[in-house]
Amino acid sequence: GAGVSQTPSNKVTEKGKYVELRCDPISGHTALYWYRQSLGQGPEFLIYFQGTGAADDSGLPNDRFFAVRPEGSVSTLKIQRTERGDSAVYLCASSPGTSGGKSGELFFGEGSRLTVL
Amino acid sequence: SQKIEQNSEALNIQEGKTATLTCNYTNYSPAYLQWYRQDPGRGPVFLLLIRENEKEKRKERLKVTFDTTLKQSLFHITASQPADSATYLCALDLYNTDKLIFGTGTRLQVFP
């Protein structure tokens, strides 16, 4: 497809379970971002990849959260021992430039809605 | 502390009027400022980018201003239409990082 693809679109899990969320960016985009958005709030930065490496992971809330991008394309956000407070929409975005947002816009996917019961 | 503030209350206006949304920030030094539109259940969509040395940017019915002294951006939609109803997010692109910092967004409702 032409846009950023995120799967699953919805995920319901139980407290304490492990979850993986996948992001397939626009082909050729070198920068990839993960954000988290709670109801009524703006997107909150989690982590940014430039190619395969995490250039900035300062937004990850704790060590239960981890993200990878092994081949510089698809990325997976992994959440261990989920808690009810992890419930949110997880947004992925990609950007074509080597300098991320400063090259212009971010292209967002539709998000993965995570509900932890 | 660092903050980006957008009016949390919804803005309700009549079709045909100009909508003006405000983005104020404190303790940030942005190189750029971006505006996004977000519809319910969808991801944000980019609208406009303005650089710190630009006072104003226009695109069709949209106009953005950026005052680095006041630390404020104004986003205007002229001749508003019901289809403009959405949440509008401002985002700061800082000098020392490649991540965007988003405000909380303002919901705009345009009534026929």
* B51-101: pLDDT as tens digits: 989 999 999 999 999 999 999 999 999 999 999 999 999 999 887 788 899
Measured between beta carbons, which residues in chain B are less than 8 angstroms from residue A1? none
Q: Which residue of B has its CA nearest to A92?
A: B43
Q: Which residues of chain A register pLDDT less than 50?
A: 100
**CATH architecture assignment, domain A5-97:** Sandwich (2.60)
* A109 in reach of chain B (CB within 8 A): yes
Query: How is residue A1 annotated by DSSP?
Result: -
Task: Say if domain B3-111 classifies as CATH 2.60.40.10.
Answer: yes
A35–B102: do the CB atoms touch at under 8 Å? yes
Are B89 and A106 in contact, with CB atoms under 8 Å apart? no
Q: What is the rounded average pLDDT for all residues in chain B?
A: 94
